[in-house]
Homo-oligomer: A and B are copies of this chain.
Amino acid sequence: MTQDNLIALLIETTVLKRLPRTGWLLRGVPDAESIADHSFGTAFVVLALADLLNASGTLPAPLDAGKALTIAVLHDLPEARLTDLPGPTKHLIPREVKVEAEVKALAALTAALPSSASFQALWREFEDETSPEGRLVKDADKVEMMIQCLRYELNGSRGLDDFWASMDRQEWHYPLCTDIYARLKGMRPGNR
Q: Which residues on A are within 8 Å of B, measured CB to CB?
A: 1, 3-4, 6-7, 9-11, 13-20, 22, 25-31, 33-34, 36-37, 39-41, 43-45, 47-48, 51-52, 54-55, 64-67, 69-70, 73-74, 77, 81-86, 88-89, 91-94, 97-98, 101, 104-105, 113-115, 143-144, 147-148, 150-159, 176, 179-180, 183-184, 187, 189
A162 → chain B closest CB, angstroms: 12
16 contacts between A and B (CB under 8 A): A1-B52, A11-B154, A14-B41, A17-B41, A18-B31, A19-B22, A28-B156, A37-B40, A43-B43, A48-B113, A55-B115, A81-B89, A82-B85, A93-B97, A154-B158, A155-B158
Contact assessment for B93 and A89 in the assembled complex, using a CB-CB cutoff below 8 Å? no
CA distance A156 to B89 in the complex (A): 25
Whether A40 pairs with B18 at a CB distance below 8 angstroms is: no
Instruction: Determine which residue in A19, A83, A114 has the highest number of CB atoms from chain B within 10 A of its CB, and name it.
Output: A83
* A interface SS class: helix
Which of B11, B151, B155, B180 touches A150 (beta carbons < 8 Å)?
Answer: B11
Q: Which of B15, B73, B113 contacts A26 (CB 8 A)?
A: B15
State whether B41 touches A36 (Cβ < 8 A): yes
Known: A14-B151, A151-B14. A73 touches B47 (CB 8 A): yes
Please determine whether A92 and B104 come into contact, CB atoms closer than 8 angstroms: yes
CB distance from A14 to the nearest CB of B (A): 5
3 pairs of A and B residues whose beta carbons are closest in the complex: A66-B66, A28-B155, A55-B114
Docked CA distance A73–B48 (Å):
11
Identify the closest chain B residue to A39 (Cβ): B40
Q: How far is the CA of A6 from the CA of B48 in the complex (A)?
A: 8
